[in-house]
């Protein structure tokens, strides 16, 4: 295919040409996807139904869960359908939507983690000003800014990627990944996306430095606390966010900073699956394991659901 207008569909990477392995891939991805969806929906429901959790930290956590749901839902269902139907096709417009929504949600994730670091900084280092700095209006403005920046982030990368002229419609990945699309470019128009990537790296590096500096200040403040119980409580509220941030960064680095390969390998595929699945699936587990209030809210939610089910079955 010699130009962009002749490409109406793309061919995604097959996990296997063997039908039994395709079905296995479908059920594996289905199990991982359902686990991710259920975990994040439980977090959203627990915070929504428990008034004690209507605080800035849990407000941000709900938005993080929504973004995680969005990122996996943007790419995983299409891969499952392709395996189930024994096909590799995705339409041009479908590929555009995949790139936009995946970058939108993942970018929003990163910016939200930066805001959550600021929230922990204010709570621990300036507790007397917490209610003023993290008021309801301030939190809404922060979240609105995160979503708007994520939207612009997605639009920037999508427009930068698809202004390129593609010489091939074969994508060596199970979803429309930007680096794989750029490999198929046969014109200098891909430089638009290179510029967008440069801007993104600068922004993300700034956020990364901000989070690191914030936690250096937080830990230095916590270590000066005279109360052992106070230090433990402060660490327990910071540790989940730090683990989530580290998981997000490490998996992303492994997936995108590895040396590019001309042909797809099992390692490339495994790293991409880890990057797309691990952070969204692990975030609810990390926060619920280290948070007593969230555990109590989840227990109440399970009891309420169980009692409702018993009531309906007895009618």
pLDDT attached to residue 179: 82
Average of per-residue pLDDT across 156-165: 85
Residue 134 has pLDDT above 50, yes or no: yes
| Residue pLDDT, tens place only, 7-50 | 788 999 877 778 888 899 899 999 999 999 999 998 998 888 88
Among 14-23, 113-122, 190-199, the least confident range: 190-199
Q: What is the mean pLDDT of the chain?
A: 84
**Which sequence spans correspond to the domains of the chain?**
4-314
Q: Could you say which of 1.20.1070.10, 3.40.605.10, 1.10.150.300, 1.20.1250.20 is the CATH number of the domain covering 4-314?
A: 1.20.1070.10
- Predicted local confidence at residue 81, as pLDDT: 92
Question: Contacts from 280-283 at CB under 8 Å and sequence distance 24+?
Answer: 280/36, 280/40, 280/68, 280/69, 280/71, 280/72, 281/32, 281/35, 281/36, 281/39, 282/244, 282/247, 283/39, 283/40, 283/43, 283/64, 283/65, 283/68, 283/244, 283/247
pTM of the entire predicted model: 0.88
Q: Length of the chain in residues, anyone?
A: 315
pLDDT, tens digit, 9 for 90 and up, residues 56-71:
989 999 999 999 999 9
Q: Across residues 113-135, what is the average pLDDT?
A: 92
Average pLDDT over residues 196-225: 86
pLDDT of residue 228: 82
């Amino acid at each position: 295919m010699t130009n962009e207008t002749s490409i109406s569909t793309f061919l995604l990477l097959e996990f296997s040409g063997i039908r039994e392995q395709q079905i296995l891939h479908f059920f594996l991805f289905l199990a991982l996807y359902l686990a991710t969806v259920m975990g994040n929906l439980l977090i959203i429901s627990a915070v929504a139904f428990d008034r004690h959790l209507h605080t800035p930290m849990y407000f941000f956590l709900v938005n993080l869960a929504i973004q995680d749901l969005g990122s996996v839902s943007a790419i995983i269902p299409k891969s499952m359908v392709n395996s189930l139907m024994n096909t590799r096709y995705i339409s041009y417009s479908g590929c555009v939507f995949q790139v936009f929504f995946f970058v939108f949600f993942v970018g929003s994730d990163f910016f939200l983690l930066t805001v959550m670091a600021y929230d922990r900084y204010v709570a621990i280092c300036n507790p007397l000003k917490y209610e003023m700095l993290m008021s309801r209006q301030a939190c809404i403005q922060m979240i609105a800014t995160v979503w708007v920046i994520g939207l612009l982030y997605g639009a920037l990368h999508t427009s930068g990627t698809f202004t390129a002229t593609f010489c091939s419609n074969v994508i060596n990945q199970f979803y429309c990944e930007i680096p794989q699309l750029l490999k198929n470019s046969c014109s200098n128009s891909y430089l638009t996306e290179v510029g967008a990537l440069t801007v993104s790296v600068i922004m993300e590096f700034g956020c990364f430095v901000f989070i690191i500096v914030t936690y250096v200040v937080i830990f230095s403040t916590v270590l000066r606390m005279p109360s052992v119980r106070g230090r433990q409580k402060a660490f327990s509220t910071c540790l989940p966010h730090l683990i989530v941030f580290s998981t997000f960064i490490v998996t992303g680095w492994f997936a995108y900073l590895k040396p590019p390969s001309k042909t797809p390998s099992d390692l490339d595929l495994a790293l991409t699956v880890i990057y797309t699945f691990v952070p969204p699936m692990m975030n609810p587990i990390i926060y619920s394991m280290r948070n007593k209030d969230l555990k109590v809210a989840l227990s109440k939610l399970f009891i309420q659901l169980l009692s409702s089910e018993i009531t309906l079955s007895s009618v």
